[in-house]
Each structure stands twice: as C-alpha cells, then as structure tokens.
Chain A
Amino acid sequence: MEAASVAHAEHHHGPPPANQSSRVEPQLLGMLLFIISEVMIFGAFFTAYFFIRVVQGEEWPAAGTELPVAIAGVNTAILVSSSITLHWAESALKRDNRFGFKAGMVVTFLLGATFLFIQVNEYVHIGFSPQDTAQGSIFYGLTGLHGAHVFIGLLLLLFVTIRAFRGHFSSQSHRGVEVPGIYWHFVDVMWIVVYTSVYIL
C-alpha cells in the first residue's frame, strides 16, 4: 500500500480526458441498459405467469381467492402520481426553484412509501399465501419482485432527497436527480404492466 502511494505521488498526472464519441451521457446510457436487463427479469417472471395461467390453464385467481382490484387500483393511482410529482421536482430544479425541488422530492418519496405500505398491507389481508398454489406463488413473485424494485427506487429517492436538503444539485448539474428519476419512472411503468396483467386481465 505504502509503496503504491509513493509511486503515485511521483508520476501523478491523471488520465487524459476521454473522447466523447456519443451524444448520450455515459450515466444515462448505463441506466438505460440496466433497465433493459430489469425488463428482462420481469420478462422471465411474466414467462412463469404465462406458463401457469395460459399453458397450464389454471384458474385465475385460484379457486376461492379474490384479488383486491379496487384497492390495488387506488395504489396504482398513488404510484402514478408519484411519477408526476417527481417530474415536477425535476422541472422545479431546472428553474432553480429549490423549494419546489425539495417539496417535490419529499412528496414523491412519501407517495412511494405509501404505495409500499399498502402493498404490504394487501399481503397481510389477501387471504392466500404463495405456499398454497402456483397462482399464489406467481402473484407474490411478480408483485414482490416489483415491490423490491420500489424499495430500491425509494432508497435512490432517499439519497436524492438527502442531497437536495444538503444543497446539492442545481439547474446546471442535475444528472444525479435525472438518473434515479428514470429508474423510478421505469418502476412506475412496470407496475402498470403488472397491475394490468395480474389484477385486471
């Protein structure tokens, strides 16, 4: 370790700046590619759903169980509105409206947390478990996978909110808001797909 740092001090000059060969920012592209692989993992869970519900032709939902379509619908509205408030926060930041930015982030975070709370509450009261039937397994699998993504998204939003209150970001530098924001919008859109296929269809 010591030897390494001494050697560094001797010829420390830093790398030459890399050539930017694309208009897309690396961070943005990285997040988009990550979302592609996230879409695929949801795709695999939807494959399982397809095999159980369509190929096997199992009754949906399993006999004697019911899915709370209305409550989940309200929950969907909550999550969708969190995307809108996030967009509001971002555009406030781009106008250097710090109060709007901070308020938007806090509201977004709280809406997301509410969604997760209602989801967990739904698990408690739904009346069937993943151990009962394959339909239960894939119901919990899909909504649980999505819930895990909401959780990760909330962590990212929390980081952004903390940094917002510490005075980070401005209309000139907002990539740290944008990139988690894309992830949150993805989580939101994915929920609409999950809700449509699991609850409505």
Chain B
Amino acid sequence: MTARLRAPGMPRAGLGLALGIALSYAIVLPVRALYGFEPLVDGDAVTIVALLAAPFGFLFGLGAFDYWFYWASGRPTRPEDHSGHGATSWRDYFRVNTDHKVIGIQYTVTSFFFLLVGGALAMLMRAELAQPGMQFVSTDAFNGLFSVHASILIFLFIIPVFAGLANFVLPLMIGAPDMAFPRLNALSYWLLPIAGTMMLLSFLVPGGSFATGWTAYAPLSTDAPLGQLFFTIGVQFAGASSVATALNFLVTIITMRAPGMSFWRMPLLVWANFSTSLLVVIATPFIAASQFFVLLDRALGFNFFVPDRGGDVLMYQHVFWFYSHPAVYIMMLPGFGIISEIISVKARKPIFGYRMMAFSLLAIVVLGFTVWAHHMFVSGMQEWIRVPMMITTAIIAVPTGIKIFSWLATLWRGVLHLDTPMLFALGFLTMFVLGGISGVMLAMIPVVIHVSDTYFIVAHIHYVLFGGSLFTIFAGVYYWFPKMTGRMYDERLGKIHFWITFIGFNLTFGPMHLIGMKGMPRRVADYAEQFAGWNLFISLASFAVGLSTLIFVYNMVASWRGGPRAEANPWRALTLEWQVSSPPPIFNFDQIPTVVGGPYEYGVPGAVHGVFKKPGEVAPAPAGRVATAPKKE
C-alpha cells in the first residue's frame, strides 16, 4: 500500500487531495488566531483556501509535477523511456499520460461527460419552464441551474472539446511525433476535471450553487453566497488549462511542421487552431483577472467594485467582456476549421479561396478584440463607445461571411457525400447563418435595447453555440471517430441522431426568437400566461434533443466497443492524419513525412499532399502545383 501511495497515480492523488485540505486548515487557523478573528474555524475561509490548495495536492499526487521537481532540484532526470506514452488499457487514461493521442481522447471524453451534465441541467430548466408558475425547483435553484449549465458547457465542453479534437489530430496533420511540450499537455488536461468537479460541487455547499449567470457580474457576485467562489476559482483552473494548451499548439505549429509544410500548405484546421490559440493566449488572462478581482473583493474585502469607496462596477464588465467576446470566437474558429476539412473532403473539391479562409481567420482574431462593449449597450457605460462598437461588430460579419461564401463555393457542383459528418457540416452552415444574422441584428443598438435580456438573446446564443459550435463538434467527432478509435460508427444511427437533433434544435430555439421579441425575459423561472403555449412546445422539443443525445452516446460507446474495424483512410482524404493506420501508431510516424502539395487537391488527378520518404528523395513542388504521385514502395 505504501508503495502505491508513493508512486504517482490515483491513490497518491487522493492522499494529495486530503493533504491539501489539511493544509488549508493549517493555514487558516493560525492566521485567524493571529488576527483574533471570531469564530476561529470559519467554513468560508477554509473552503476558499482549500479550493486553491486541494487541486494542487491532487495534481502533485497524480504525478503531474514529478519530472519538473526532479529537474528543478538538479537531480539527474530519468532518461525518457516513453512509459508515459500510449494506452493499452482503460487505466492508462486515468494517469498522467504524455501521448497527445491519449490526451486528445481524455479531453474529448471528459468534455462529453460535461456535455451530458450540462444538457441534463437544461432538461431540468425546461421541465420547470414547461408551465407558468413554480413546479419543480425554487427560484434560487433555477438561477443556479442556468448559471451552472452555461458555465459547464462553455468552460468544460465547447472550449476543451475543440482542444481535445485538435490535440489528437493537429500533430498528426502537421507531421509531428507529438506536441511540443507533452508534460505541459498532460497538466493542461488534468486541470479540466478539477475545474468541472469544482463547478458541480457548488450545488452541495450551503447557500446553493453559484447563481449569477456565467457572466458573474459584480457586485452581484461579490455579495453572493459561498457557491459563487466555486465558479470564481474553478474558472481559473479552466483558464490556465486553456492558456497552456494554446501555448502548446502555437509552439507545435510554429516549430514542428513536417518538411515542406509551409504556412500556406497547412490544413485549415491547423490555421483555425493557430488563430484560436492566439486569441486564448491574449484574451484569457482578462477573465482570470476579472475573477481575481471578484475573489479579492469577496474573500478579502477589497474595494474594486464598491462604488462608495471609489470602486467601479462597470470595470468588471469591460474586463470580463474583453475576454468573453474573443471567447465566442475561441468557441467558433476551431469549428470553422473542422467544417473546412469536412466540406472539402465530402464534396471532393479543393476548398474555395484557401488563402482568404486563412486570412479571414486572422481578421476575426484582430477584430474580435474591438467589439467587446456591444455586450454592454444597455449597461449605462459612456455613450460615445456605443456607435464605434456597433460599427466594428457589423464589420466582423465580413470575414465570417467570406468563410460562409467560400464553403458554399466549395459545395458548388461538388460530388456531395451526404453521410453523418457532412450532414452535420451542412446543418452547421444553415444554422450558423441564422445565428449570424440575428447576431448582426443584435449589433444594432436600437434592436438590442428592445430585446436585451429576452429570449431573443437566448435564441441567438444557442443558434451560434448549439447550431454552430456543437454541430461542428458532432461533425468532427463523427469524422475523426474512425481515426481515434480504429472503428467505424453506425452510419444509420448517426443519421437518425442528426435529423432528430436538427429538427428538435430548430423547434426548441426557433420559437424563442418570437417570444423574445414579444418580451419574455430570460433567466426567470416563471413567466406570464401568454407565453405558456410556446414554452410547453419548446420544452417538449428540447426533450427530443436531449433524447437524441442518448442515441449519439449509444452509437459512440457501442461502435467503440464492437464496431467494424476502420481502414486507414475511409474518407479518401489527403491530409496527413489519414495516411497512417487507424488508430495511429504509438509514435504517429515511423518517419516524418514530406509535404509536397496543398492539403485540399481533391479531384485533381495525381494530387499528393504528403509522401513518406526522406526529404532528399523528394523533389519539392511549389504550393498549388500538382505533384506526381510517388511510386508504390
């Protein structure tokens, strides 16, 4: 037993967790005794310190820092034996694993677990909203439901699941054996379950879970009960995870591309993750800071948001949205990348306007930082900020429009293969256009003053995050499922899943535009009689969406366990990840491939993207020109 407690792993992680909590008592009690605070044992204070200390105890026990401790203390570091690499049993997914493919699966599965949790919370909300009046939960509990629903799905599902898919696919796509910093990669993954567990645990503390929405506006959040801090601190862990992964992606993309893979030969998924990672590295510190302010105000009595003492409450919203507007692109750009891959492969045509697709991603990155105050049109901020922000918001629709039209042009006269990934990709195109149009409407100050804080907003955000992001995620998961698991999913169940989701989604969120226009406020547990009919309809439709997710889960689990073996390249795709076996070999490539052409030359006779030969043996072809197919070795 002692041996198990000393070796890195789950038993030691449990011990570390307990020690972290003990340490919090050991810190808080003497400090309170020193200052003469009464009572000596204060649950709030201990919990706050434990929220910070216990996760580090857990990570230390799990072994996330072991190598670095060796390094830092100057002891001879153990030669890399790749024992942290690869997975042969399910247990290997529950330890610090440095293999980007294992981490990719850890990320994806964990995020989907949180999707189910967040979805279940939505089902509870819709059950309460099915009729006017209060039926199942109290108003406070309802506030908790929608706050945790949004926080979980944003910070623990959409953002990390894209990181997970990219973690698996991106090194393969650029011909790298792994990510640039594999141990940092493992640490970024393990921060996630910590953040998610923390947010869910908030339901158990006295005063209930955090109930201030995912935006946690001050000073509402600085006066909220203890549960609020589970958000405030949980977000720090999710944010740290996302910054570390983004940094890792950027370094990997810049320094580890295969020979011949210039920036203009990178698949668009790589471009998308490059842009997203830039956004994450630059923007995420702002939400960290905004939550630090809340933490300092709430826990230590600082005055950042106390107007009597010179504090400024609107400052919270500025700092928060300076992250959280770019965050909507963090939640969308990787999806754009996935769709570019799928549409080109499934339409058997080169992507239309490859360079403009890449440039428009970068344009969104830059413009994304100039629009944050459009979330604050009704906040009472300085009026002169409004019109410039309205204009920049309208402008940001232009690069997005470039992408939409490029996808349409790619589809134009293509040979469409309407299987599940493609259906989700097309579903994304239509739904995202609707969400984008309501977004441009919401950019207009007169409109947003009318519909602010109504169900119109709820409809808009779900058209872009559900119809947009989630559809791309489903598309991506179906598309790379054969590569990740080595098995084929059930196509028939996949199509059933798509159609129920697609129709149920529209029936759920479409009517919200109408009742929003008529003035039904969001974030309320009860509503006027006149909205009763539509709300019942929406609730029933949302249950259909919930059930369709179960079909998806069944399909994934059953196919992973017993689906037919997948071939290396079932989609006849050109990008490098499809040129290795399914699932890929433990070190990705026996030999780093050489890239000789663009990634999307579908329908061009003899087009090749990468060849598995030594660089000297391959004559490089300029980008865009067709390379001759190498002879079979």
Contact = CB atoms under 8 A, between A and B. Distances in A.
Given A43-B285, A44-B285, A55-B312, A131 B250 contact: no
B180 A30 contact: yes
Contact of A137 (B81, B289, B302, B319): B302
Interface in A160-179: 162-163, 165-166, 168
A52 B310 contact: yes
Interface string B90-126: 0110010000000000000000000000000000000
B571 interface: no
B176 interface: yes
A16 B73 CA distance: 30
B588 A15 contact: yes
A41 B289 CA distance: 6
A130 B292 CA distance: 14
B314 interface: yes
B458 interface: no
B590 interface: yes
A58 B86 CA distance: 58
B553 interface: no
A132 B178 CA distance: 51
Nearest to B588: A15
Interface size class of B (residues with CB under 8 A): 35 or more
A178 B252 CA distance: 20
Interface stretch (A6-14, A72-80, A116-124): A6-14
A40 to B, nearest CB: 4
Interface in B304-335: 304, 306, 309-312, 314-315, 318-319, 322
Contacts of A22: 254-255
Interface of B is mostly: loop
Contacts of A58: 310
Contacts of B178: 15, 18
A132 B175 CA distance: 57
A39 to B, nearest CB: 8
Contacts of A24: 254-255
Interface in A110-149: 130-138, 140-141
Nearest to B73: A162
Contacts of B282: 36-37, 40
A11 B180 CA distance: 23
A11 B586 contact: yes
Nearest to B306: A134
Contacts of B259: 19, 21
Interface stretch (B43-51, B293-301, B353-361): B293-301
A52 B592 contact: no
Contacts of B85: 8
Nearest to A47: B319
Contacts of A134: 303-304, 306, 309-312
Contact of B592 (A16, A38, A132): A16
B426 interface: no
A136 B302 CA distance: 8
20 contacts: A4-B89, A8-B82, A15-B587, A15-B588, A18-B256, A20-B255, A21-B259, A24-B255, A25-B255, A37-B247, A37-B281, A37-B284, A44-B285, A45-B289, A52-B304, A55-B312, A130-B301, A130-B303, A132-B309, A165-B74
Closest 7 CB pairs of A and B: A44-B289, A134-B310, A15-B177, A41-B285, A15-B587, A40-B285, A51-B315
Given A52-B310, A141-B296, 15 more contacts: A16-B591, A16-B592, A21-B258, A30-B251, A40-B281, A40-B286, A41-B286, A41-B289, A44-B290, A45-B289, A47-B319, A48-B315, A48-B319, A137-B303, A159-B71
Interface of B: 9, 71-74, 80-83, 85-89, 91-92, 95, 175-178, 180-181, 243, 247-248, 250-251, 254-259, 261, 281-286, 288-290, 292-293, 296-297, 300-304, 306, 309-312, 314-315, 318-319, 322, 586-592
